[in-house]
Amino acid sequence: MDDDEGVWSPWPDLPPELSGMVFCRLPSYGDRLRFRAVCRQWRHAARQQHPLPPPPLPWLALDRTTYQSLPDGEVHRVPIPGELPTGTVCRGSFDGWLLYDSSEQLECFLMNPISKAKIDLPYHWYSDGDETIFRDYRKGEGQHTMNFRENAVRKIVVCSPNLVAAVIAGYGVFFHRPGMHSTWSFATGSGFVCDIAFYGGKLYSVSENGELFVHEFSIGEDHSSRVDTVIDLAPPLDKDNLRQGYYWLTTFYLVVSCTGKLLMVRWRWHFPNFYYYRRWFADELRKEIKLDVFEADLERRRWSQVKDIGDQALFLGTTCSKALPLPDHGNWIFFLGLNITKLCSDGIIHGVGDCAYCVYDMKNHTLRLDNPVSINREGLLSYGSEGSLFQRWRADWFFPCFVCDIAFYGGKLYSVSENGELFVHEFSIGEDHSSRVDTVIDLAPPLDKDNLRQGYYWLTTFYLVVSCTGKLLMVRWRWHFPNFYYYRRWFADELRKEIKLDVFEADLERRRWSQVKDIGDQALFLGTTCSKALPLPDHGNWIFFLGLNITKLCSDGIIHGVGDCAYCVYDMKNHTLRLDNPVSINREGLLSYGSEGSLFQRWRADWFFPCE
């Protein structure tokens, strides 16, 4: 193959099984993007690689515009978008969102820096004068300005299109109902809130004492809320091994596990009672810091200790905590170096430096601290103004996400993410190459987790289709898939039981997905390069998808009992799956990797709709 200078390059001819192995061993988000940019063959290899690679490791936000990727420590700059008002600053990262604050214009919003999706947030909160805001402190009736500074806003969770929740230090939990309220409202409750998480359609919070609460919010205009205690007793602390003059300095995190459990992680430090800012050395910290994981038993209203979380890793942060399926990092807990360095007299751990993050191994109870920040954060301890401790001190996780599919509908381009979120794109008609993306639906329909067998998860992908009746549909294709997967033979009979398809209509007015049980006399054709709806009375309520979805996960490229499957048909009426549609030609050499005419050339199949 010739490049732009006419020099032959061997890299595109690297056998796909080898380039795929390389891709799967790239835990960095940036490296995966570079891999795809090498050549067309490598893009195909990345797209078709199976078993599916684990998700990339997150980035770490070091300050308002600087991010460090894991595990390579590469630095990325994300400047404030030029179209935002002068004086706009980034106040932190919240999962895949960045919080932008323009105090002069009294504007605040969340934006995804990759998709440019945006969620506007109110700049004020409403009080009726009766709430106990914090301890015994009360605010007067009326509107009050929210504090979005880094040292104040601890967490923001987009629960649904109709609910956003936030934790403000020194106050508690606030909620906002887009489209219903023009302000934030204080959520009823008492005590200091450590963390919040949205789980099973409800918002939960954990207190500084390890108590678990569940919150309910009104859907009217009265700004009312209710909080109930779910678990009122924290797990006991190991006090037998406390040295005299020491106590357990603790904080709590809530995380929804990859298997659909609500977990609480207790971070604890064997800490001196009479403390002054001092130097801390890595060796002593490894002995003094412990982490414990508990599952919320909502039925028995108690915490149950978890000793093994399997092939998932937990990422704990002030603004976001998340679980990821990472076999190479199984039973690891990542937490911010901030937990320690904020209590160091010189802002560093001696023997490490300015620590970015730490890793606790649940299997052998060891702590790794050797992950220094990749930039020079001078003036870390210059308190009290912009450019102070809080500006540099605020570090947290950022989780990029990818686009699954796009569709042109109603004169606009829509995209759906790997998480089932829906975005709308607008493009400039001038020469500035500018574009804008807004979030339309920010919460995927819930998955059926009650029927998941132990050791399995739902392997999903999403398709966008414009129906024959002019509706924007999303089809969720899902496979009940083993956590520990290796290439194996799949038989038609087992596949019929394990693969399901769900159809949803985009309710653009209410900003949510509505499930569709019947699509009438039309059939849907789902593909990688094209998806389409056709009026076919004889095939009504049928969904056609490519055999590629399955055969790419088969060790020999075929479904046993069928062969080289061309396409499959799912019947929405009786929820049955037909797989008996073999390819009409002999595709010899399906697994002959490494050149044009290789697996990827034959493997890539899709729909073609002739035009009369």
Rounded mean pLDDT, 382-406: 60
- Chain position carrying tokens 């919040």: 196
Give the model's pLDDT for residue 212: 94
Nearest 5 degrees, angle CA 142-CA 144-CA 150?
160
Q: What is the pLDDT of residues 428-461, one digit of tens each?
A: 676 655 556 667 886 778 877 667 777 777 778 8
Q: Which tokens sit at 403?
A: 């686009």
Whole-prediction pTM: 0.68
Q: How far is CA 142 from CA 124, 149, 299, in A?
A: 10, 22, 39
Q: How far apart are CA 498 and CA 458, in angstroms?
A: 10
Give the model's pLDDT for residue 366: 92
For the cut 80, the answer to whether the pLDDT of residue 81 exceeds it is no
For the cut 60, the answer to whether the pLDDT of residue 19 exceeds it is yes
Give the model's pLDDT for residue 593: 36
Give the model's pLDDT for residue 523: 96
Rounded mean pLDDT, 109-113: 79
For the ranges 6-10, 103-107, 292-296, the lowest mean pLDDT is seen at 6-10
The answer, yes or no, to whether the previous bond of 79 is cis (omega within 30 of 0) is: no
Rounded mean pLDDT, 496-517: 92
Identify which has the larger pLDDT, 515 or 20: 515
DSSP secondary structure letter of residue 6: S
Q: pLDDT confidence of 201, banded at 50, 70, 90?
A: confident
Q: For residue 206, with 0-12 CB atoms within 10 Å meaning exposed, 13-18 middle and 19 or more buried, which class applies?
A: buried
For the cut 80, the answer to whether the pLDDT of residue 316 exceeds it is yes
DSSP secondary structure letter of residue 57: B
For the cut 80, the answer to whether the pLDDT of residue 235 exceeds it is yes
Q: Which tokens sit at 376?
A: 């020079």
For the cut 90, the answer to whether the pLDDT of residue 390 exceeds it is no
Give the model's pLDDT for residue 594: 33
Q: What is the crossing angle of helices 29-37 and 40-48, to 10°? A: 130
Q: pLDDT confidence of 419, banded at 50, 70, 90?
A: confident
Give the model's pLDDT for residue 47: 60
Encoded amino acid at 251, one letter: T
Q: What is the crossing angle of helices 16-24 and 29-37, to 10°? A: 160
The answer, yes or no, to whether the previous bond of 325 is cis (omega within 30 of 0) is: no
Give the model's pLDDT for residue 255: 94
For the cut 50, the answer to whether the pLDDT of residue 466 exceeds it is yes
Q: How far apart are CA 497 and CA 482, in angstroms?
A: 14
Indicate the SS3 state at residue 285. Answer: helix
Q: pLDDT confidence of 325, banded at 50, 70, 90?
A: confident
For the cut 70, the answer to whether the pLDDT of residue 597 exceeds it is no
For the cut 70, the answer to whether the pLDDT of residue 132 exceeds it is no
For the ranges 161-165, 270-274, 412-416, 521-525, the lowest mean pLDDT is seen at 161-165
Residues 6+ positions from 561 with CB-CB distance below 8 Å: 491, 492, 493, 579
Identify which has the larger pLDDT, 258 or 508: 508
Q: What is the pLDDT of residues 137-185, one digit of tens each?
A: 455 566 777 777 777 778 888 887 678 888 887 778 888 887 676 788 7
Percent residues over pLDDT 90 in the chain: 23
